[in-house]
């Protein structure tokens, strides 16, 4: 594709301030739950007139340095399982490439609307299953008044740790157990594929590391940053090779998000483990509702259901977008609230 015709927009001060703010809030959430801060950035940039592919490419370009800084910060708090992160990151890279190709095929066959519908349905299915489970688990931990810094290892994870017939295993210091290599492949692949589809691979990666591999949720959210770094670097190379990365946009978002990610990482040291699940589950459920509002619009545009009036479609789009913004801001507010409460309670 000839990139010379691509519109790299003129940046106004209002645009810059807006991107700095969204970057900060997104970084705050990512530093806390390992990912999840980037999904409003692509639509936010597109609303400023940035072409879709440039928005996706610039978003990915800001993610890998942000994830690097976040991972380093969480490593200092002892939250990181670097070996597992690298192992999952490599298979995630393949998942991302496969997911991106699948997206292109769907777009070629069904056009932009078909591609948007695919993304929204993927959001709804994944978030409905994983989001409701994460919320349920957080609620039951809260009700049982689980010990402040102890989390029971999930039954599935205990079973995985006991598997000896599935080929070679490696030791994960996060899980404090041996894990078969083959188990990590589908998890990494699915994480990468989801990242290519909805820009938030962590919605699979973090719960899978916790419930399937047995990492404490705090370590799962930190290790996800390693996966995000590897995927982000691969994605930047892929899109940069085609000349789609608008470095100005990426660096503005990075400016805001690095302030946020440091704060989010500090926030994790003040909360009980179930809070990571509460924030992640809440965001997932709200994004699920947001995508639920937009699906009828795409179905109508594809002619698969009776047409929806233009005014109603516009309203549904706006409701969907603002619920997504509320999910991010709400998540950020919980993180900030927890941080402020924790710091006030800290003995001086």
Partner 1 sequence: MKWIKLTTLGLIVATLYGLLFFNEQEVIRLCKLGGWGFLFPVIVAFVFSIFHGAFTSLFWDALGVKANARDEDD
Q: Is 45 in the site for partner 1 (CB under 8 A)?
A: no
| Contact flag: residue 28 with partner 1 (CB under 8 A) | no
Residues 6+ apart with CB under 8 A from 272: 146, 148, 149
Q: Which residues pair with 68 in a beta bridge?
A: none
- Helix (H) / strand (E) element for 172: namely strand 169-172
Nearer to partner 1, 12 or 140 (CB): 12
Nearer to partner 1 by C-beta: 268 or 282?
268
Taking alpha carbons only, the member of 188, 230, 234 closest to residue 209 is 188
Residues of the chain by 3-state class (helix, strand, coil), percent to 5: 75, 0, 20
Query: Max CA-CA distance within the chain?
Result: 64
Beta-strand (E) ranges in 36-158?
none
Q: Which residues inside 3-22 make contact with partner 1, applying CB under 8 A?
A: 3-4, 6, 8
Q: Is 335 in the site for partner 1 (CB under 8 A)?
A: no
Give 25's Cβ-side CA count (13 Å radius). 21
242 binds partner 1 (CB under 8 A): yes
According to CB under 8 A, which one of 64, 118, 189, 298 is a site residue for partner 1?
64
Q: Which is nearer to partner 1, 21 or 110 (CB)?
A: 21
216 lies in the site for partner 1, by CB under 8 A = no
Provide the minimum distance between the beta carbon of 238 and partner 1 in the complex, in angstroms, as a whole number: 8
Examine residue 346 and tell whether it contacts partner 1 (CB under 8 A): yes
**Minimum distance between the CB of residue 4 and partner 1, rounded to whole angstroms?**
6
Q: At its nearest, how many Å lie between partner 1 and the CB of residue 86?
A: 18
CA torsion 54→59→63→65, rounded to 10°? 60
In whole angstroms, how close is the CB of 32 to partner 1 at the nearest point?
13
Q: Which of residues 252-291 bind partner 1 (CB under 8 A)?
A: 254-255, 258-259, 262-263, 265-266, 268-270
Q: Does 48 bind partner 1 (CB under 8 A)?
A: no
> Does the protein bind partner 1 through residue 75 (CB under 8 A)?
no
Contact between 248 and partner 1 per CB under 8 A: yes
Q: Structure tokens of 243?
A: 């000349």
344 lies in the site for partner 1, by CB under 8 A = no
Query: Which residue from 49, 78, 307, 337 is in contact with partner 1, where contact means CB under 8 A?
Result: 78
**CA 208: distance to chain centroid?**
13
- Shortest Å, Cβ 102 to partner 1: 23
**C-beta separation of 281 from 206 below 8 A:** no
From 129-137, 159-167, 243-251, 277-285, span contacting partner 1 (CB under 8 A): 243-251
Instruction: Report the C-alpha gap between 177 and 161 in whole angstroms.
Output: 6
For residue 97, give every residue at least 6 positions away whose Cβ sits within 8 Å of its Cβ, in sequence order, or none: 192, 196, 234, 238
- Tokens 């402020």 correspond to 340
Size of the site for partner 1 (CB under 8 A): 45
Neighbours of 143 (CB within 10 A): 9
Distance CA 40, CA 24 (A): 12
Which residues are near partner 1 by CB under 8 A? Answer: 3-4, 6, 8, 61-62, 64-66, 68-69, 72-73, 76-78, 233, 236-237, 239-243, 245-248, 250-251, 254-255, 258-259, 262-263, 265-266, 268-270, 339, 342-343, 346
């Amino acid at each position: 594709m000839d990139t010379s015709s691509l519109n790299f927009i003129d940046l106004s001060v209002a645009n810059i301030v807006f991107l700095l703010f969204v970057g900060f809030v997104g970084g705050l959430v990512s530093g806390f739950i390992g990912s999840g801060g980037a999904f409003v950035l692509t639509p936010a940039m597109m609303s400023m007139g940035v072409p879709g592919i440039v928005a996706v490419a610039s978003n990915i370009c800001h993610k890998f340095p942000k994830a690097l800084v976040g991972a380093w910060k969480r490593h200092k708090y002892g939250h990181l399982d670097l070996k597992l992160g690298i192992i999952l990151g490599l298979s995630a890279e393949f998942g991302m490439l496969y997911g991106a190709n699948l997206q292109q095929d769907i777009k070629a066959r069904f056009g932009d609307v078909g591609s948007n519908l695919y993304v929204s349905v993927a959001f709804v299915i994944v978030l409905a299953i994983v989001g409701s489970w994460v919320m349920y688990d957080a609620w039951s931990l809260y009700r049982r008044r689980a010990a402040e810094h102890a989390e029971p290892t999930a039954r599935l994870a205990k079973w995985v740790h006991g598997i000896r017939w599935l080929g070679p295993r490696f030791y994960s210091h996060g899980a404090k157990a041996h894990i078969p290599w083959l188990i990590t492949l589908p998890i990494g692949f699915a994480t990468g594929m989801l990242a290519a589809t909805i820009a938030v691979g962590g919605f699979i990666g973090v719960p899978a590391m916790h419930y399937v591999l047995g990492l404490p949720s705090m370590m799962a959210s930190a290790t996800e940053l390693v996966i995000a770094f590897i995927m982000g670097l691969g994605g930047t190379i892929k899109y940069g090779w085609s000349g789609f990365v608008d470095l100005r946009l990426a660096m503005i978002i990075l400016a805001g998000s690095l302030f946020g990610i440091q704060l989010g990482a500090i926030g994790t040291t003040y909360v009980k483990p179930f809070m990571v699940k509460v924030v992640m589950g809440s965001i997932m459920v709200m994004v699920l509702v947001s995508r639920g509002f937009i699906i009828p619009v795409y179905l109508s545009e594809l002619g698969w259901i009776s047409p929806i009036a233009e005014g109603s479609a516009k309203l549904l789009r706006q409701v969907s977008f603002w619920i997504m913004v509320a999910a991010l801001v709400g998540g950020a507010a919980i993180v900030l609230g927890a941080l402020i409460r924790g710091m006030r309670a800290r003995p001086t």
